[in-house]
Structure 1
């Protein structure tokens, strides 16, 4: 049976991804910073829970040790993320940037460092990084797309970094399938539930990548319509 861990899985896209992968037959670890919310989500889904704060090295390492002791890991989904403060670009600070990049970017380095040893024991090691079209240079320059209208220096640039990390890890670890998924404009807490897609639609690309076989591509970036522009 395939075992999957999803960061930030106590609500929104992470929760729906967990639900769908459980339905597909995966054993799913709901990883969340808040223990009470994470356990409640896992119990509601029929999943396992592990406490994991993606901004804390010791927390990530401890979670990896628990998962290893319980049988290992096949699929890692890096879903946790924040938008950062909502204020004028000129008022953003270095501390703001460090907070966003620690949660959205450095977190992937932390989880890869902790979980790659487990993934290397899997017959079908898979990593899915949840990124965004807001980090696509092509999309934000295309005035026909909604991404061109969104000005969010820290969040958007952090998602550009997530997509590049995906490409670089896929080249560094060719024995694994490491891909990025853009959920699209989905109604979640992250955007005040203003997105036009449901969470099920928003998880289509993530679930597709998680379910791909060992012969699937690596280093790609997709949305629910197919290959997405970088």
Structure 2
């Protein structure tokens, strides 16, 4: 039987930058959206700024570094009858310390947010996608995590994104062909993280994220993309 209900996307780090623009674009594409943020007040403020979103956007507290927080979010959604069909792992940090200036706390934060956060959300939300026979996962990575490009610069960020690319392949294999799991390099985007001097606007930065989140059943899985084109790992 064909599905008649609207698909729902959960976007981590959805209260600003690429995450917020992805929420906006997914709503425009006809999906319902769960805007997930560590700070629900900031999440609600961001959601109010999306014109016409109305009841189609739901704000949830979510700290991806905490498995307990991810589990609690999943329980609240289940209790509300919300099924997550699309997972966008966008939450991230961008430490710029060089390797010999890098302290362990900064190293661990980069891995916890950029890598372990996606590990948590994929373990919690992807199995249900596989059981239902449909799902999309988009890991927001970076060309700085590509072994063929500029890894490991900056050190903690590059290593965490290279590992996120590897996780993309692992989850793609584990989830099966009905769940499309891909990574994306949005480019150097004008956000709080990217800086005002970055050459790419946030709309273009989020475009490939949205494209991968709404792939047809014939779409790719286990790939790394920039500007809707596959790029080397």
Give the alignment's TM-score, normalised by structure 2: 0.90
Q: Which moved more, 1:86-95 or 1:55-64?
A: 86-95
SS at match of 2:60: strand
Shift of 1:65: 1.2
Decide which of 144, 155, 158 is 1:153's aligned counterpart: 155
**1:88-99 matches, cutoff 5 A:** 88-99=98-109
Please tell me whether the aligned partners of residues 136 and 214 of structure 2 are also in contact (alpha carbons under 8 angstroms).
no
**1:1-230 matches, cutoff 5 A:** 1-45=6-50, 46=53, 47-69=57-79, 70-84=81-95, 86-140=96-150, 151-174=153-176, 175-230=178-233
Shift of 1:195: 1.2
In structure 1, runs of 5+ residues without a counterpart are 142-149
Please tell me whether the aligned partners of residues 204 and 224 of structure 1 are also in contact (alpha carbons under 8 angstroms).
yes
CA distance in 2, matches of 1:127, 1:225: 15
Paired residues, what number? Answer: 221
Shift of 1:28: 0.4
In structure 2, runs of 5+ residues without a counterpart are 1-5
Q: Which moved more, 1:73-82 or 1:45-54?
A: 45-54
RMSD over equivalenced CA pairs, Å:
1.6
Shift of 1:43: 2.7
Give the alignment's TM-score, normalised by structure 1: 0.91
Structure 1 segments, 4+ long, off by >4 Å, are: none
Q: Deviations over 1:20-75 (max 9, x none)?
A: 01001000000000111011112332221111011111111111112222321110
